[in-house]
Amino acid sequence: MPPDDAAPGMARATLSPKTFPAGDRPMTVTRRTLLASGLTTGLTAPALGAPGLAAGRPLELDSGDAPAPFDAMPEPPFIADPSLLRLDDGWLFHKGDIVVPPILGHEESYQNAKAGIAQGAAAVGYDDSDWRAVELPHDWAMEEVVDPNANVAQGYRRRGIGWYRRTLKLPVEWRGRYLEVQLGAAATNAKVWFNGVLVAHSFSGYTAILIDITPYARFGEELNTLAVRVDAETMEGWWYEGAGLYRHNWLAVRDGVSIVTDGLHADPRKGDGGWTVPVALTVSNIQKTAATVRAEAVLIDPAGRTIGRAETDISVDPLKTAEASMTIPVADPQRWSVDHPTLYRVETRLLRDGKAIDARATRIGFREIRFEAATGFYLNGVATKIKGVCVHQDHAGVGIAMPDAMWEWRIRRLKAMGCNALRCSHHAPAPELLDACDRLGMLVMGENRNFNPSPDYLRQLQWLVRRDRNRPSVFLWSVFNEEPMQGTEQGYEMVRRMAEAVKELDSSRPVTAAMNDGMFSPLNVSDAVDVMGFNYQHRRYDKFHAAHPTKPMTSSEDTSAFMTRGVWKTDMARHEVSSYDTDAAEWGLTHHESWRMIDTRPFVVGTFVWTGFDYHGEPTPFEWPTTSSVFGIMDLCGFAKMAFHLRRAQWVDDAPALAIAPHWTWPGREGEAIRVIALTNAETVELRLNGRSLGTKTVDRLAMPEWQVPYRPGLLEAIGYRAGRAVSRTFVETAGAPVALRLVADRGGMLGTGSDVQPFTVMAVDAQGRIVPDAAAQVALRVTKGAVIGVGNGDPNDHDSEVLPARRLFHGLAQALVRAEAGAGTLTLEASAPGLKPARASVRVIAAQPLPALPATRPVAMLTDWKRSDFTATRPDPLRRYAGNDMNSLVYARPGRLEGPGEGVWSTYRTSIKPRRRVAEQGGAVVFAEVVGRAEAWVDGVKRAGKTDFAGAPLVVPFPAGAGERQVVLVVEAEPGKASGLGRTVSVRER
């Protein structure tokens, strides 16, 4: 079967002349062909799969049974770290900052300087009952309306500041274990508090925040509070960066002696004696004594067989780390490549007294990479031209909070085009994207965001390299993009330090930098990197190569051509750009010109086209009302533009490629000449209109053959030939008025984990089932057993909400991202529009186990911070007042810790509380889970409850309604000679 969804928007080429004998009519779309096709509006016909669909022949499908272009379920996630529990649900969110009132008093000033007594929304006892429940990943900027007064680079969406809070309940048996909160990323800067202690600052929206919470954790009945302030006013980029906690979040629960996060390094090496897998494990010890453990590593081949093993002992001192090193020889491994991405596994574990206490695994690939200054890049010894794209990380409807399955979907789209590499511009990517690249065969240039070798920022680069250095897909590290200091001595010194930091962690991959100037100054950044990267400096390729004949070089960014999907005539007033590849930024080139500059120069490693997909923000060449870019080979939804089929015709060598541009529905233009392009890798191509030949032309893959065809309705057909034999065929056909909607799912099945997402294409068809390329109906969507989490249509000028379940068709297409509910069943999406027959599509949802997660815990107001008076022989006065600057007459006390015995038997416990809204309005109760000793409880100077037994027992104290600061005092009489006090937790219960 042909590769999946290869040619959205234009017809798929057939693989054999036997399928379409010369002179036969084009094939009819069937379920089988849909499994092998892609989509886009206006470019071809049988291409009716995932994104991009064109006017074509009738579909042999009933309206209630949408096909599945990709006949596969998503692969279950690879469990690299079994200690991780997902931490994505149970969060509360507040949009906007929460300003702490000025601190003025003695006691407030004193408390403000102490650990664990955070103020405002970071405080343990803060009332978040009015906050909105959200599930992460979350990009709140996508919920904002576009605003002409907001930042143009951010797509005219206001970002601001937001707060997140989450309650964690940790089992008692976890006491003594290593606990680490991992926040995947926070756009843009963040501060994190755990139980009122400020535990982390993040200075980049693209790096994970790893927090050792072991010293602060509370267990059992005591709850823990995680609070995050995300500052999205800060900008790191000049594109849409989103806002919020937009990647997955985890809690690591490990033994006291364990492998650190990203502490497994296993990157294969080939030497004179053959292949080896060096395995290094970084092990930490949080226990109070030194520990000696055994480290084991096994290598598992693609068939699941263990083919190598190594082990060693390692000793780790308390609160230190140590590294265990092992080597596994491999006789003749299968190679990883873009065409055959063969993956092995390295599984490691630590054993203590013969018992496994921790484990970690990674996927690896055996591949050789080599850069030659004269002849380019070699993968496993084979000359390989890099046919890459630059990508940002947002998508229609969800912004930067990308569902996992959509990363794989995007890589499949790029692979179908013949793309073999991507550059993560200009950020550390989501690990799920790299998982897909490893598994599907896509080379990756990893790039950090901030050009700065100072300690805080160098750690961002080091984290990136440690996280991704095992991945076979990663073949280059880029340390910056277009920095003003690139041509200076200072820039050189900065890169020299950053490159050295990379090499200390990973010596197997070269370092590059994306330069757009300064490469000919006496000392510049190119002198500090292994591979020279050019951004838009196509006129300098030859000059630089002549001056530096031993320096490998690549285009790290080029093209910047403009296209609006479905548009075939540039109209500057309407902010629309032709898809004929006639327009580019003044610094760039058209797709035709750009590839010619690179393909004709063997010393240029390859291209990274700007960009693979349109992205929110940085609208160019327009500004308001345009809110997204039009640089993409595909639009915001991943629907193909003409550039998709052009690049496929230029990049794919091992399978036929053929598409026609544009569509063939031009009412009112009868007799007018239409420019027609055949995009193909055939040797010659014939064009026919309604069965009459319009001539055969020789194919120049750098230019592509064209015709001027007087428009007549009907069927326009192209046939590609090699050695005189027809090897490919496609067509476009005139469509009538739209009469119905149609829905096409990407997959016929989904996993019932509660988080699986897939795109559905929404389209309008005529009475014969042909896609109508100018349809613009407003479509409403409804789902059962699932939810629409985002919508889009690829129109850069559309300001409608991308989160509500409705969308206008743009040139015949729209997209809905749908998430399936947990459990088995059938998900059904229904689409309706005025005047059109509604559509319905169903996919099976297969029961699947979600990843282990820490259960969500309902926030409860816990009274954790008390002050206790000294023990006295006489009953203290519960109404006594203490001076605001008296920090010594009372001592700190915590529930769960009994006090005494002291010199006397009497003491008081005092705290202040600002009750949560519902308690303030309706009243409630202060619940002492256990008070040891006789006791009486006072609220705001009034005695409310008491207990007369010395033995530990609960005490429930009525708490009247009322707002503001409230005082709670507990007078305790201890049994002589015994400890007393707050034996367990204290909480405030709603009525």
Q: What DSSP line would sit under 395-448, residue for residue? A: BTTTBT---HHHHHHHHHHHHHTT--EEEETTSPPPHHHHHHHHHHT-EEEEE-
Neighbouring CB atoms inside 10 A of 703's CB total: 10
3-state secondary structure of 836: strand
Neighbouring CB atoms inside 10 A of 718's CB total: 30
β-strand partners of 932: 981
**Cα distance between residue 447 and residue 431, in whole Å:** 13
Neighbouring CB atoms inside 10 A of 206's CB total: 28
Q: Between the CA of residue 210 and those of 158, 246, 351, 868, what are the distances in Å?
A: 28, 15, 25, 36
In angstroms, how far is CA 325 from the centroid of its own chain? 32
* 827, two tokens: 């998900």
What pLDDT shows up at residue 38? 31
Do the beta carbons of residue 398 and residue 142 sit within 8 Å?
yes
Neighbouring CB atoms inside 10 A of 526's CB total: 26
Print burial letters for 44-80: b (CB count within 10 Å at least 16), e (below 16): bbbbbbbbbbbbbbebebebeebbbbbbebbeeeeeb
What pLDDT shows up at residue 470? 98
Low-confidence ranges of the chain (pLDDT < 50): 1-68
- Pure H helices in 678-804: none
Q: What are phi and psi of 922, to 5 degrees?
A: -115, -10
| Among candidate residues 285, 284, 306, the one with its CA nearest the CA of residue 297 | 306
User: In residues, how long is the chain?
Assistant: 991
* 3, two tokens: 């590769």
What pLDDT shows up at residue 108? 84
Sheet holding 178-183, edge to edge: 84-86, 249-254, 178-183, 209-212
Q: Between the CA of residue 694 and those of 14, 610, 721, 728, 939, what are the distances in Å?
A: 21, 35, 15, 17, 93
What pLDDT shows up at residue 33? 29
Do the beta carbons of residue 365 and residue 341 sit within 8 Å?
yes
What pLDDT shows up at residue 887? 79
